[in-house]
């Protein structure tokens, strides 16, 4: 029975299908999942023209939207699947294949009693709904990560990328349909907002929703579903230049954190500068920032101390909690690391914050006390990324504290279960009369899926 996209029945049918597919994928062989990823890679080559044509249509429509002021230039750029990005997307799938199988790893093993061994083993989460922004390459990335980790997935992309997404999802579904061990229905593209609404009430069929986008959007999703949600929201990231900073590093990190990817969530929005080093540092960095078209909004002390060095404007209270995603940087002078820590823990979105200092004691204090997913010492905030962290690829960057935090790769798409292999033990053996104590001895053993293991 086929029902129309956008109808409640359609979504229900696909979600229940995804649940069935997930149960099968959970016990699928790692080799089968890799073979399916290879098939996707092959299809990305053979269907390249068709995919790029669909993308070109989206980009054309996007240009019109930009002209009408309904779409920002940086978003248009993210929509495009040009030559380099297509290649990068292929490479990303390859890197996911190269990752070790995240499933059925023994995370912990404990001998509870003679002939009673407990294993904590990694398993897929199950069915995951992902709502992502206008980047068609994100569809391929999320699908590849979900497949490798044995999860079924329902996807909803930005409407600006509708043509690209439709062709990509079709190509991926077709490519994997003939691979042995891969169940039908593991991937569904949702095309309408109605589908998303339909998804939110399927708590028996969907285990996790990952909204990528603004905090308001994530908040809307959380308020409208009982399904667990992991927020991948805004990045209000900070660089703190301490009194003991090496000025070369401070300039390089400040500039890179702001301008190397201005529209990314790990770009810095606020620069905190220790008063003692502020003047010499501003003398070196303000020109550099302005040369890159960065507008600087300073607090009172910054304007006083550095007003002669550039076209600074006053910062407002609201700036401290604004994610610009643009060539704007708010700047504040502080009297030490503790003031910087307090400011960051108050205003940060707990994404990524960095200290520049040669003083190791101050650095350790900052790394301990900053309550963020990624805390850096002498490194650009722009390094907060799943690929850069060596996770292969990322499903997003979590600003929540549950399950996974920071860049989320394959491991973040797994949970675990406890496997207990006994020889007839009961609870009464350990708490009845007579009883024996548990051994609770850590085991250096790996749980085997094989009967002879």
Tokens 């907060």, residue?
Answer: 384
**Residue 228 binds a copy of itself (CB under 8 A):** yes
CA distance linking residue 325 with residue 332, whole number of Å: 19
Backbone angles phi, psi at 331, to 5 degrees: -130, 135
* Nearest partner of 125 among 94, 147, 144, 149, judged by Cα: 149
Stretch in the footprint of a copy of itself (CB under 8 A) among 135-143, 277-285, 298-306, 397-405:
397-405
199: CB partners within 8 A, 6+ apart = 11, 15, 129, 154, 156, 190, 206, 209
- Decide whether 157 or 211 has the Cβ nearer to a copy of itself: 211
CA distance linking residue 89 with residue 95, whole number of Å: 10
- Decide whether 316 or 442 has the Cβ nearer to a copy of itself: 442
286, two tokens: 């303000």
Shortest distance (Å) from residue 174 CB to a copy of itself: 28
Task: Render 172-192 in DSSP notation, one character per residue.
Answer: HHHHHHTSTTPPTTSEEE--S
- Residue pair 136/156 in contact (Cβ under 8 Å)? The answer is no
**Among 53, 64, 174, 368, interactor with a copy of itself by CB under 8 A:** 368
CA distance linking residue 16 with residue 19, whole number of Å: 5
Query: Which residues sit opposite 355 in a β-bridge?
Result: 240, 377
Tokens 């044509």, residue?
Answer: 53
- Decide whether 302 or 414 has the Cβ nearer to a copy of itself: 414
**Residue 434 binds a copy of itself (CB under 8 A):** no
**C-alpha Rg value of the chain to the nearest Å:** 25
**Among 374, 393, 396, 399, interactor with a copy of itself by CB under 8 A:** 374
Tokens 């990624």, residue?
Answer: 374
CA distance linking residue 153 with residue 319, whole number of Å: 37
Q: How many residues bind a copy of itself (CB under 8 A)?
A: 83
**Among 55, 110, 165, 233, interactor with a copy of itself by CB under 8 A:** 110
- Decide whether 144 or 229 has the Cβ nearer to a copy of itself: 229
Stretch in the footprint of a copy of itself (CB under 8 A) among 134-142, 191-199, 249-257, 318-326:
249-257
Stretch in the footprint of a copy of itself (CB under 8 A) among 185-193, 220-228, 289-297, 318-326:
220-228
What mask of x and - would describe binding to a copy of itself in positions 302 to 341, judged by CB under 8 A? ----------------------------------------
Q: What is the H or E stretch that residue 398 is in?
A: strand 396-398
**Residue 230 binds a copy of itself (CB under 8 A):** yes
Shortest distance (Å) from residue 320 CB to a copy of itself: 15
**Among 418, 436, 445, 446, interactor with a copy of itself by CB under 8 A:** 418
**Residue 193 binds a copy of itself (CB under 8 A):** no
**Residue 425 binds a copy of itself (CB under 8 A):** yes
**Among 317, 426, 434, 444, interactor with a copy of itself by CB under 8 A:** 426
Stretch in the footprint of a copy of itself (CB under 8 A) among 162-170, 233-241, 312-320, 368-376:
368-376
């Amino acid at each position: 029975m086929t029902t129309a996209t956008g109808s409640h029945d359609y979504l229900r049918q696909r979600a229940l299908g995804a649940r069935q597919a997930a149960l099968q994928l959970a016990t699928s062989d790692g080799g089968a999942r890799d073979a399916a990823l290879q098939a996707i890679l092959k299809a990305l080559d053979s269907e390249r023209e068709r995919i790029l044509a669909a993308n070109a249509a989206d980009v054309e429509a996007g240009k019109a939207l930009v002209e009408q002021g309904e779409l920002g230039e940086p978003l248009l750029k993210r929509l495009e699947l040009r030559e380099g990005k297509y290649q990068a997307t292929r490479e990303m799938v390859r890197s996911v294949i190269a990752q070790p199988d995240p499933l059925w790893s023994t995370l912990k093993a404990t001998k509870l009693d003679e002939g009673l061994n407990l294993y904590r083993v990694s398993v897929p989460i199950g069915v995951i709904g992902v709502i992502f922004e206008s980047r068609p390459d994100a569809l391929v990335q999320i699908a590849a990560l979900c497949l490798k980790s044995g999860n079924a997935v329902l996807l909803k992309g930005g409407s600006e990328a509708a043509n690209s997404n439709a062709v990509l999802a079709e190509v991926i579904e077709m490519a994997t349909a003939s691979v042995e061990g891969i169940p039908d229905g593991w991937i569904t593209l949702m095309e309408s907002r109605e589908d998303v609404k339909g998804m939110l009430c399927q708590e028996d069929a969907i285990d996790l929703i990952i909204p990528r986008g603004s905090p308001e959007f994530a908040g809307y999703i959380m308020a409208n579903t009982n399904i667990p949600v992991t927020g991948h929201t805004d990045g209000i990231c900070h660089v703190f230049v301490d009194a003991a900073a090496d000025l070369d590093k401070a300039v390089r990190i400040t500039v890179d954190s702001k301008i190397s990817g201005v529209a990314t969530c790990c770009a810095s929005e606020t620069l905190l500068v220790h008063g003692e080093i502020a003047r010499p540092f501003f003398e070196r960095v303000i020109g550099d920032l302005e040369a890159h078209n960065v507008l600087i909004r300073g607090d009172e002390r910054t304007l006083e101390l550095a007003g002669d060095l550039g076209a600074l404007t006053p910062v407002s209270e609201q700036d401290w909690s604004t994610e610009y995603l643009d060539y704007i940087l708010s700047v504040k002078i502080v009297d030490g690391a503790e003031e910087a820590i307090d400011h960051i823990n108050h205003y940060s979105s707990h994404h990524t914050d960095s200290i520049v200092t040669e003083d190791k004691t101050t650095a350790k204090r900052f790394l301990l006390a900053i309550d963020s997913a990624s805390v850096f010492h002498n490194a650009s905030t722009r390094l907060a990324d799943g690929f850069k962290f060596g996770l292969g690829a990322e499903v997003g960057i979590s600003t929540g504290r549950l399950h996974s935090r920071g860049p989320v790769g394959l491991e973040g798409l797994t949970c675990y279960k406890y496997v207990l292999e006994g020889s007839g033990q009961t609870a009464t053996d350990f708490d009845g009369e007579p009883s024996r104590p548990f051994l609770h001895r850590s085991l250096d053993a790996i749980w085997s899926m094989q009967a002879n293991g």
